[in-house]
Amino acid sequence: MPSAERQHYKIIFTGPVGSGKTTAISALSDEQAMTTDEQASDMTQQRKQTTTVAMDYGVMNLGADERIHLYGTPGQERFDFMWEILTEGGIGLILLLDNTRSNPFQDLQFFLKAFGAFIADNKVVIGVTFMDEQPTPSLEDYHQKLGEMKSSLPVFEVDSRQQQDVAILVQALLYSHDPWLGI
């Protein structure tokens, strides 16, 4: 009897430097996550010691025949050539926004525009990190801003270190893609 065909899905994590992409993928991955972190050499040094220069990669096993490949983009615009490469074959985007940054709404608009072509054909879910350190803007504020942008996207407060928080983002993305896909 032939074995069942394996189902593979690809989800992209993006957002500004320090928003928690590498941490989120590491929290979810059932295997050791791969990172391409290098010593930060620009203004990124003010936020963290290292930064992703190519991608992060991890794998979630959903069962014997299903896997989700998790790809994280570099957060710096100077590495944007990787964004198009990494989104190829993806089924959706998880946008992480750092609520402690000076203008997270500007980050929201920037990343939604930068990934606009991908989003036009795929789903997106937003996770707001560091709300415990900076409670404003609130989730309601994000929904209001999205409404002004004529967009209605799911927005969640998440701690990228917590597997359960990040798994909710993946579940929401899979459910919005196809209610029969779920973890």
Give the pair of three-digit tokens for residue 78. 């100077």
Q: Is residue 182 part of a domain?
A: no
Length of the chain: 183
For 68-124, the pLDDT digits (tens) are 999 999 877 766 777 788 789 999 999 999 999 999 999 999 999 999 999 999 999
For 147-166, the pLDDT digits (tens) are 999 999 999 999 999 999 99
CATH code of the domain in which 96 resides: 3.40.50.300
> What is the domain range of residue 19?
7-177
Q: What is the mean pLDDT of residues 8-27?
A: 93
Q: Is residue 118 part of a domain?
A: yes
Please name every residue paired with 67 in a beta bridge, in sequence order, or none if there are none: 8, 61
Q: Is residue 127 part of a domain?
A: yes
Residue spans of alpha helices (H) in the chain: 21-28, 81-87, 104-114, 116-121, 139-148, 163-177
Residue 3's pLDDT is 47
Question: Where does the pLDDT of residue 176 fall: very low under 50, low under 70, confident under 90, or very high at 90 and above?
Answer: confident
Q: Is residue 67 part of a domain?
A: yes
Q: Is residue 66 part of a domain?
A: yes
- Please name the helix (run of DSSP H) or strand (run of DSSP E) that holds residue 125, with its range, or none: strand 123-129
Question: Where does the pLDDT of residue 140 fall: very low under 50, low under 70, confident under 90, or very high at 90 and above?
Answer: very high
Q: What is the mean pLDDT of residues 133-145?
A: 97
Is pLDDT of 45 > 70?
no
Burial class (CB in 10 A: 0-12, 13-18, 19+), 103: exposed
Q: Are 76 and 44 in contact (CB under 8 A)?
A: yes
Residue with tokens 């990494």: 86
Q: 13 — phi, psi (to 5°)?
A: -105, 130
Q: How far apart are CA 10 and CA 28, in angstroms?
A: 14
Q: Is residue 2 part of a domain?
A: no
Number of structural domains in the chain: 1
Whole-structure pTM value: 0.84
Q: Is residue 183 part of a domain?
A: no
